[in-house]
Amino acid sequence: MELRDALVGRATSVPVGDQGALMEVARLCGSPVSRAQDVAAAAAKDEGFSALLLRIANSADSGATTRISSLPVAVTRLGFRLVQGLALAAPGLGLLVSTRDELTRQRLVLHRHAVCTALAARQLARTPEEADRALAAGLVHNLGLTILSLYAKDAFVELAAAAAQGRQLGPVEERTLGFTHTELGGLVSGGWGYPPELVAAIVEHDAQHPATTLAALVQVADLLVRESGPTFEPPRPLPTPAFALLGIDCSAARDRVRPLIDEQLRLDREDSTARDDDEPPTIPLAAADVVTDALGALV
């Protein structure tokens, strides 16, 4: 467990954006007594995140008819749940693209998979409240793999080789590391102050029988994306018990999710043709810009 604890300590000590401000935004959004002005004041401490909120609030997806420049109005227009999800996802996604090295392309696959999983989970959610939570959980569900790619590169390369052979990562991780990427992601997200439900979704999204609805929703989205979208981990036989827990028909879920995956793949192809294939992909490093890029298909 020494390696695991060292990885947790390192990940939780790396600043990604104004993490304190982002966690304060998330906390305020979860409080029943908070006002939009309170959330806006906390968001204003991170200039990039403030710009993100204004951009999305003024996007076509928000249904805006007039442009706004007021941060409290932007928070009101988007709603506390979506603002909270964006704030929670920003540090994890920021870590994902914070280093350029020999594993940059593998992290790009993780990033694209996270985006597709988030969009799929949002699409499959049954209520608006669940949809916003699912978006955030999908974006950060593989946080543990991100941390391994940054701070335990040899182990990550070994996992990548196992995944390429079609092997599920859990047993490989237990044998080589003594812990799984889901366990690692849960410890780091807990250290960052994520809500317990989101931590549980990270920990349980690969479980045979997820204990929470959010974890089951992320698992369903994750596995559907693995079938035909950008993926690091190999597919698993479907359906899993998570489908039954949610009351989701596997074929119907595929039909709902596939257009989102196809659109994201189209955007990925456009990105690839816009740059030299020998160059690493250009991804903004600021946490807020990362979230903006991740939610491009929505806004």
Q: Region 93-110: what's the mean pLDDT?
A: 75
Where in the sequence is the domain holding 150, given as residue range(s)?
2-14+99-294
pTM, full prediction: 0.77
Measured distance between the N- and C-terminal CA atoms of the chain, rounded to whole angstroms: 42
For CA atoms 251, 253, 258, 261, give the dihedral sign. Answer: negative
- Note the pLDDT of residue 127: 87
Domain CATH number, residue 184: 1.10.3210.10
- Note the pLDDT of residue 99: 63
Cβ within 8 Å of residue 157, ≥6 positions away: 103
Per residue in 12-59, pLDDT tens?
776 556 777 888 998 899 899 999 999 999 988 877 788 778 877 776
Per residue in 155-208, pLDDT tens?
999 999 999 999 999 999 999 999 999 999 999 888 877 788 889 999 999 999
Three-state secondary-structure class, residue 192: coil
Residue 14 phi, psi dihedral angles, 5° rounding: -90, 120
The two three-digit tokens of residue 229, written as one number:
């979208």
Per residue in 212-235, pLDDT tens?
999 999 999 999 999 988 899 999
Three-state secondary-structure class, residue 59: coil
Preceding peptide of 195 cis, ω within 30°: no
Residue 50 domain-assigned? no
Number of domains making up the chain: 1
Give me the percent of the chain exceeding a pLDDT of 90.
Answer: 42
The CA distances from residue 10 to 3, 7, 93, 110, in Å, are 11, 5, 16, 20
